[in-house]
Amino acid sequence: MNVGVLNESNKIENRAGLTPSSVSFLVEKGNTVYFQAGAGLKAGYTNEEYANQGANIVFTKEEVFGRSDVVLNISPLNQEECGMVKKDQVLFGFHHLAIAKKTLIEELLEKNVIIIGYEIIQDQNEDLPFIESLSEIAGQMCLVISGHYLQTSQGGSGVIIGGVVSVPPATAVVIGSGVLAKSAVRAMLGAGAHTIALGSNMEKLRELEEVTSGKVITLIASKYNLERMTKVADILIGAVLKPGERAPVMITKDMVISMKKGSLIIDLAIDQGGCVETSRLTTLEHPVFVEEGITHYCVPNITSAVSRTSTKVLSNVVTPYLLQMGELGVDQALKGDSSLARGVYAYNGSLTKKNIAERFGLAYKKLFQGKRES
């Protein structure tokens, strides 16, 4: 199998699709890796390191798409990249089709591609291996971001997260109760913040209390509770995750207006449209904007800021799937691995996720007719 790795640095993406270590695993099993020059530089890996492990260094995206059976992407493909996709190719990476442009989806479907999304691969226990691994990083990043943007010099309220003797800690309000929320809650509690989590799933809220030994305050995410908690938040973290769907808007503009001036919003759900009404996409180069006196941090590829660690995590998770696809072929790997099959957005020209098809008014076809749908 021929595997291609894109250099996505022009999209302000610092992570690479594979590490040299993963390249060596793939090559040892008879696969060929086409690696676009410079793709690993921002993660601290040189072209020579990849070449030494057997990768073929190519110099354009056209070469990657032209020579590869499977193309790995970190950021969703843009218009230019979609134009380079060849017929029957496998696109394996973050796609977030729920918020993609319909024209791009239609263009890819016409090319009969298989689209597999890292963000919706899900095992039998409903765990999301890619999302969970990156969530650990994102949770810790929330601390770094909060500590910086709460500073007076950054327009923040001038409070310290953990507080000091005679001065109470900052209040961190986390919206959500799943894997993203759990990571953010742990990070905030670890820094000494007064931490409140609001979610709609009682069982997950109970799990949050158990894993934090009752240190986190949990509430049902009703409009009444959301309105009350946003008013006291120094840090508001939107961590609502619905795999393969657009994130629901939980925090309205009126709630944002009611927040303390100089407070901070970190919308971790921005990859899927955002869960705060006032959120809009930002970048690592220009990560924040201020609206209604509140600083908004809405970077979709937040873990790209720590590219070395994130690249290792993504590469470690994706490599077993690639080895399986290389050994069995893509179709047999999908038929034999239900978690990988759950990650399929499109198969041979048809959308295989009913919610995506309905959202865009496109045809839906169940993956592998005759088999029970995952």
> Which one from 69, 95, 96, 267 is the annotated catalytic residue?
96
Is residue 194 part of the annotated active site? The answer reads: no
Q: What is the 3-state secondary structure (H, E, C) of 295-308?
A: EEECCCCHHHHHHH
The type of residue at 25 is F
Considering the candidates 69, 234, 267, 271, report the single residue annotated as catalytic.
271
The two three-digit tokens of residue 112, written as one number = 């009969």
Beta pairing partners, 251: 276
The stretches of the chain forming alpha helices (DSSP H) are 20-28, 47-52, 61-67, 79-84, 102-110, 129-149, 179-190, 202-211, 223-232, 253-257, 307-328, 330-336, 338-342, 354-360
* Cα 352 to Cα 365: distance, rounded to the nearest angstrom: 5
Residue 257: count of CB within 10 angstroms of its CB: 13
- In the 8-state DSSP scheme, what is residue 152? G
The residues that bridge with 195 in the sheet, in sequence order, are 172
Q: What is the 3-state secondary structure (H, E, C) of 61-120?
A: HHHHHHHCCEEEECCCCCHHHHHHCCCCCEEEECCCHHHCCHHHHHHHHHCCCEEEEHHH
Dihedral pair phi/psi, residue 205, rounded to 5°: -65, -40
Sheet (strand 114-117) strand order = 56-58, 32-36, 2-5, 70-73, 90-93, 114-117, 344-347, 350-351
Contact present, 266 and 233 (Cβ < 8 Å): no
Residue 43's φ and ψ, nearest 5 degrees, are: -100, 5
Let me know: does 2 contact 70? Beta carbons within 8 Å: yes
Is 96 assigned a catalytic role? yes
| Catalytically active residues, by annotation | 96, 271
